[in-house]
Chain A
Amino acid sequence: MSQEQLGMKKISSIGFVAAFGLITMSSSISSQSITTMNIMPNYYHEAHNYSLNDSTVCNSSMLSRQAVGDIVSMEKRSDFVQQHEKIKVNLEITKITKHISNFDFEEEYEEI
């Protein structure tokens, strides 16, 4: 697994620092530690990285409410209304008929 470090942004308005990192599994990791690293602010709200005495690594993270790539519902914010151009005209009705459907039967059909 390649080692990767990302930029981190301190979210001062919330009052804590988000931290996340990927660490190569290695026998040299022997002490309990918290890794503080830079992180893409759009992806993680809070992240912690613990490395324990037995070299296991525990990562936890909490996604922010909104991240890049999320499909945001615009329904509550505004109603998109398609405006069509309209022209008022006078209809000259030449015929009034009862509509009759055309029925084309498909000989090959799909079993459901």
Chain B
Amino acid sequence: MEYPWFELQENSADITQGDIVLNCPVPILKEFDITEPGQNVQAEIATIDGIILTQACDIANKKVDNIILCAITAKSDFEQIQRNQGRNEKEIKKNIEGIIKGQQNALHIINEYKSEEFSQDYYIINFKDIFSVPVEIAREIAKRNGKRLRLCPPYREHLSQAFARYFMRVGLPINIQISD
């Protein structure tokens, strides 16, 4: 029985949990004293590559106005970032292996995709980097992406579980110390 990682979507505004959405514009406000309608407010636009984490049923049943997107980074870009931080190739490889094994709570990795018509690198998902985007904006951007990938079960649920695990951590004020 085959369990493909991804399903290819094309020119579709239909979105669900596990959908990869590229170049989504998100406003970052630079001033916060906002009181008057029509006021001019300075902002920057960050275009993010993200993966949808909002539950599929919530999107389908229109229970949400905004979609949660978690920032994703291509493995090749991630490796370059690591090199810029002064890490050598052996350390970079060890870090990626640690992410695959689930040893980094805030990070998750998904497989690459290769076919004749479309290809995509491995992506590293950063649970510390979360954005909220209106549903209609997400749909429009997804459609404009043209060919894009949708993470399939059970890899989608595996991602969702890792996300939940990151947020449900509890730090104890006094941990257990076993004396010899």
B73 at the interface (CB under 8 A from A): yes
Cβ contacts under 8 Å, B98 to chain A: 105, 109
Question: What separation, in Å, do the CA atoms of A82 and B80 have in the docked complex?
Answer: 42
Let me know if A70 is at the binding interface, CB within 8 A: no
Does the CB pair B41–A94 fall under 8 Å? no
Q: Does chain B have a CB within 8 A of A90? A: yes
Chain B residues with CB under 8 A of A89: 34, 36-41
- Do A95 and B104 contact each other (CB < 8 Å), given the known contacts A87-B36, A90-B39? no
A112 touches B73 (CB 8 A): no
**Contact of A95 with B41 at beta-carbon distance under 8 Å, contacts A101-B129, A106-B104 already known:** no
| Closest B residue to A82 using CB positions | B65
Residue of A nearest to B72 (CB): A101
Task: State whether A87 touches B103 (Cβ < 8 A).
Answer: no
Shortest distance in angstroms between A110's beta carbon and chain B's nearest beta carbon? 7
In chain A, residues 66-98, which have Cβ atoms closer than 8 Å to a Cβ of chain B? 87-98
Asked if B102 and A101 sit within 8 Å, CB to CB, the answer is no
Q: Say yes or no: B104 contacts A93, CB within 8 Å.
A: no
A65 within 8 A of B: no
Residues from chain B with a CB closer than 8 A to the CB of A105 are: 95, 98, 104
Query: Which residues of B have CB within 8 Å of A100?
Result: 73, 77, 81
For the complex, is B105 an interface residue (Cβ under 8 Å from A)?
Answer: yes
Which residue of A91, A94, A99, A102 contacts B47 across the interface (Cβ within 8 Å)?
A99
Q: In the bound complex, do residue A92 and residue B43 qualify as a contact, i.e. CB atoms below 8 Å apart?
A: yes
Distance of B33 from chain A, by nearest CB (Å): 11
Say yes or no for B115: interface residue by CB 8 A criterion: no
Give me the interface of B with A, judged by CB distance under 8 Å: 25-27, 30, 34-49, 71, 73, 77-78, 81-82, 95, 98, 101-107, 124, 126, 128-129
Which 4 A-B pairs give the minimum distances between C-beta atoms? A109-B103, A99-B46, A99-B48, A95-B44
